[in-house]
Structure 1
Amino acid sequence: MFQRVHYQTLANRLQEPRRFIQVITGPRQVGKTTMVNQVAANLKVAHLFVSADSVALGNSVWLQQQWEYARIKLKQETALEYVLIIDEIQKIDQWSETIKLMWDEDTRTGLNIKLVLLGSSRLLIQQGLTESLAGRFEVIYMGHWNFSEMQKSFNYSLDDFIWFGGYPGSAAFIHEENRWKEYMIHSIIESSISRDILMLTRIDKPALMKQLFELGCLYSGQILSYTKMIGQLQDAGNTTTLSHYLQLLHTAGLLGGIEKFAGDIIRKRSSSPKFQVHNTALMSAQMGRHKKQVLSDKAAWGRMVESAVGAHLLNSSLSRNMNLYYWRENILEVDFILEKNNELIAIEVKSNGVAEFRGLEAFKKMYGPKKMILVGEKGIPVHEFLQLNPNDLF
């Protein structure tokens, strides 16, 4: 079975003395549960895997019961250690307070129970960690599958990856595109929005959030002001509501709004967002056209290619402490700006063979980036760039 790079990270940490809670976060259907079970089985450690997915919302008693059961099993099996794995932890109300209580009690009494928490709502997980568990945890972020992983596991071509994206569960359906679209819409999109956002966060206008998601997928790779969004959405309310909903979609691993790069924080946060899907499958699944039709449309396919590059950069930025921006000044634009340790890398995507450097040149004069990179026929080929670790560009 294919092992993602996160496998070795978790395996190494679980073999260390009990020190930190291991927290695995990431979107739905990227293999978090599979990876943790692989590690537990291959390390041959005594463990208990439980999921809060089917537990009544807010039932913290269930959480205490699972922990007590792990304590009993540790004593019964006379093991040196025991690993308790809890999936979908964000479903439990005030989970972090309960975890803190049980973890600290085991620390005082010397019980060697190691803890692995999994969750698909990055925002709710982070809130719980910072509120109660400061200094007690490490986070492993599992993003969407990249081109190399889909190629090795499912023999995807570059065009396959750009169109069908990086969801391993949908790979079996790519030769039946209508079936693939149905799977994506019902099993991935609706499930992620309903279970990771609407069920766990108060949303006054759920229909508006779904409209915003559809609009963002349609305009992925394009800059759209909140004022224009209000004009295209029914019952849109105000810009604050839209900004909040976009942030929730981002934390669920669905749709982000990339900020404009500027010299100060205030100008960055007040800019019009550039829509960017986390996975290009979210775009193509909702299109009324099929892969062959879009491939023959150079402009439409070019937008798919740019979104694939943007998704690759966005997912990398979430797990490797980088910031991702775009830049525009009047008619001059640079598709993506990576920032790390006060160093900048400017990236322009040109998949149609036309090389345009005016935006890069203007950005260089203003900000002096460490590198300027062209992705496409006249620069780094798209298939090679999608196999790069963006962190290695610095």
Structure 2
Amino acid sequence: MIVVAGPRQVGKTTLVRQALAAHPSTFVAADQALPDAVDPFGQQGSAFLTQPLAGSSPNAEWLVAQWMQARAKTRARPDDTCHVLAIDEIQKIPRWSEIVKGLWDADRAENLPLHVILLGSSPWLMQKGLSESLAGRYEPIRMAHWSYGEMQEGFDFSLDEFIYFGGYPGCASLIREEKRWRQYVRSALIHPNIEKDILQMTRVDKPALLKTLFELGCGAYSGQIISYTKLQGQLQDAGNTVTLAHYLELLSQAGLLTGLSKYAGQKHRQRASSPKLNAHNTALISALAGYTFAEAGNDRSYWGRLVESTVGAHLINTASDDCEVQYWRESPAEVDFVLTNGRKLVAIEVKSGATFSVPKGLAVFAGKFADCRQLIVGEGGLPLSEFLSRPAEDWLE
């Protein structure tokens, strides 16, 4: 089966619906309330007691029923061609992976040509279910936030507009009305990501702390290295550093905010390092920071942080499983980003100022790691637009 997973509002549902338009298919969503209940006095009355109530969330019985209907449509096809069943937000169904495993294996035993596509916007829950029950039974398609090239082609974004407004296609038409755009990002993107995809899906003992960590990390510290101890000082009821690290990992898995580790060559030193915070989409920064598009462009210090966060988000979103994104610092020397795949090493410095000078951090890093490739992005180096047009692993070739 095919598994399409990725953050909210990146076009997973639209992509699958468009792909299925020319094929016999059934598309159902597990995040929508059920329609009217079965009439107990009608032809389906015998199934009444097992049906979920109208307005309730789909459950295991609903999932089995959808699968059975798709099986019937497949068997009814005279030319023995396949039928496609696509289930959106599958992770909302309790024990979904166990149920899918049983149904899928039964179809394979019967050689039934029913094709299945599963979609989900909670990467943590999707991966948990896939690894526990469905190993060897699926091919993943991972969708990330939209790139500069995609936003430029789809919505005619300029480079500066992409740096500030980020890569969410759903609100691209609102950028001329910034108040509406910010409200959309907060209510349709940030709130559901945290309230539904994290708080309702996994145990979080301090939900207020999780929300504050996200707001602080995106609004004030994206693009900056900050110790967990300093974060504790910025947060009320912060708990211990282990809790903060866990919450930051949940935010990362939801496609919101990542804490990059320090490149040190030794794994135990990397794990013990202070994280460099980076939003996965600069729209999350701009919606929280309080700067308008014009104000952000006029504040060179703030704009430089946005540019660096844009580069970091691009690397995070386009890195493959064997490409690790990190940073490096040995005070006062620092390198913005370090890419490695275990064999090759690339040190990246982002320059957004009007004047160019060779970054000292690159020279110090190259002195310690002689085989590294040095790359300057921005003023005096590779144009930012060109860098954003290629995925992270391209720079390791």
Measured after TM superposition, the shift of residue 32 of structure 1 is 0.3
- Given that 2:344 and 2:372 are in contact with CA atoms closer than 8 Å, whether structure 1 keeps it comes out as yes
- Equivalent residue number for residue 61 of structure 2: 61
Q: What letter matches 1:28 in structure 2?
A: R
Moved over 6 A (4+): none
* Residue among 28, 31, 35 paired with 2:11: 31
Deviations 1:31-63 (A, max 9, x none): 00011111111xx22111111102556821111
Which of the residues 223, 226, 242 maps onto 2:225? 223
Deviations 1:181-233 (A, max 9, x none): 11111111111111111111111111110100011112000001101111100
Cα deviation, residue 98, structure 1: 0.5
Q: Which residue of 2 aligns with 1:163?
A: 164
- Post-superposition offset of 1:243: 0.7
Q: How does 1:242-257 map to 2 (within 5 A)?
A: 242-257=244-259
Deviates more, 1:348-357 or 1:325-334: 348-357
State the Cα distance separating 1:341 from its structure 2 match: 4.2
Q: Deviation at 1:320?
A: 5.3
Give 1:97 shift. Answer: 0.6
For residue 289 of structure 2, give the secondary structure of its aligned residue in structure 1. coil
CA distance in 2, matches of 1:238, 1:356: 40
* Distance in 2 of aligned mates of 1:356 and 1:225: 27
Between Structure 1 and Structure 2, how many residues are aligned? 371
Structure 2 match to 1:11: none
Matched position secondary structure for 1:286: helix
Amino acid at match of 1:66: Q
1:184-263 alignment runs, 5 A limit: 184-217=185-218, 218-263=220-265
Alpha-carbon distance between aligned partners in 2 of 1:192 and 1:356, rounded to the nearest angstrom: 40
Counterpart of 2:27, as a letter, is F
Equivalent-residue separation in structure 1 for 2:245 and 2:70 (angstroms): 42
Which of 26, 35, 48 is the matching residue for 1:48?
A: 26
Distance 1:324 1:365, change over 3 A: same
Residue 41 of structure 2 is matched in structure 1 by none
Question: Structure 2: how far apart are the matches of 1:385 and 1:288?
Answer: 28
Contact 1:28 1:120 in 2 (8 A): yes
1:134, distance to aligned residue in structure 2 (A): 1.0
Query: Is residue 76 from structure 1 mapped to residue 76 from structure 2 by the alignment?
Result: yes
Residues 58 and 94 in structure 1, CA contact (< 8 A), matched pair in contact too? no
Q: Is the 8 A contact 2:32 2:58 kept in 1?
A: no
CA distance in 2, matches of 1:58, 1:204: 26
Deviation of residue 322 (structure 1)? 1.1
Calculate the TM-score normalised by the size of structure 2: 0.91
Distance 2:99 2:171 in 1: 36
8 Å CA contact 1:147, 1:158 repeated in 2: yes
From the CA coordinates, give the structure whose radius of gyration is larger.
2
> In the TM superposition, what is the alpha-carbon distance from 1:346 to its structure 2 partner?
0.7
Distance 2:366 2:372 in 1: 9
State which of 306, 309, 313 in structure 1 corresponds to 2:308. Answer: 306
**1:246-297 deviations in whole A, cap 9, x for unaligned?**
1111111000000101111111111110000000000001122211111111
Query: For the residues of structure 2 that align with 1:267 and 1:177, how far apart are their CA atoms?
Result: 43
**Equivalent position amino acid for 2:70 in 1:** A
Following the alignment from structure 2 to structure 1, what is the Cα–Cα distance between the partners of residues 60 and 336? Answer: 46
TM-score, normalised on structure 1?
Answer: 0.92
Question: What is the CA–CA distance in structure 2 between the aligned matches of 1:322 and 1:334, rounded to whole Å?
Answer: 17
1:1-394 equivalences in 2 (<5 Å) = 21-41=1-21, 44-54=22-32, 56=56, 59-78=59-78, 79-217=80-218, 218-317=220-319, 319=320, 321-352=322-353, 353-393=355-395, 394=397
Distance 1:370 1:185, change over 3 A: same
Between 342-351 and 73-82, report the one with greater CA deviation: 73-82
| SS at structure 2 position matched to 1:156 | coil
State the alpha-carbon separation in 1 of the partners of residues 31 and 161 from structure 2.
Answer: 32
Asked whether the equivalents of residues 27 and 86 of structure 2 are also in contact (C-alpha less than 8 Å), the reply is yes
Distance in 2 (alpha carbons) for counterparts of 1:376 and 1:369? 23
Contact 1:338 1:345 in 2 (8 A): yes
Aligned 8 A contact 1:278 1:314 in 2: yes
**Distance in structure 2 (CA, Å) of the matches to 1:369 and 1:46:** 53
Letter in 2 for 1:382: L
Q: Which amino acid aligns with 2:156?
A: N
In the alignment, the residues of structure 2 paired with residue 287 and residue 308 of structure 1 have an alpha-carbon distance, to the nearest angstrom, of 15
Percentage of matched positions with identical amino acids: 52
Asked whether the 8 Å contact 1:57–1:93 carries over to 2, the reply is no
User: Could you tell which deviates more after superposition, 58-67 or 148-157?
Assistant: 58-67
Provide the C-alpha distance between the structure 2 equivalents of 1:179 and 1:281, rounded to a whole number of angstroms.
13
Over the aligned positions, Cα root-mean-square deviation in angstroms equals 1.3
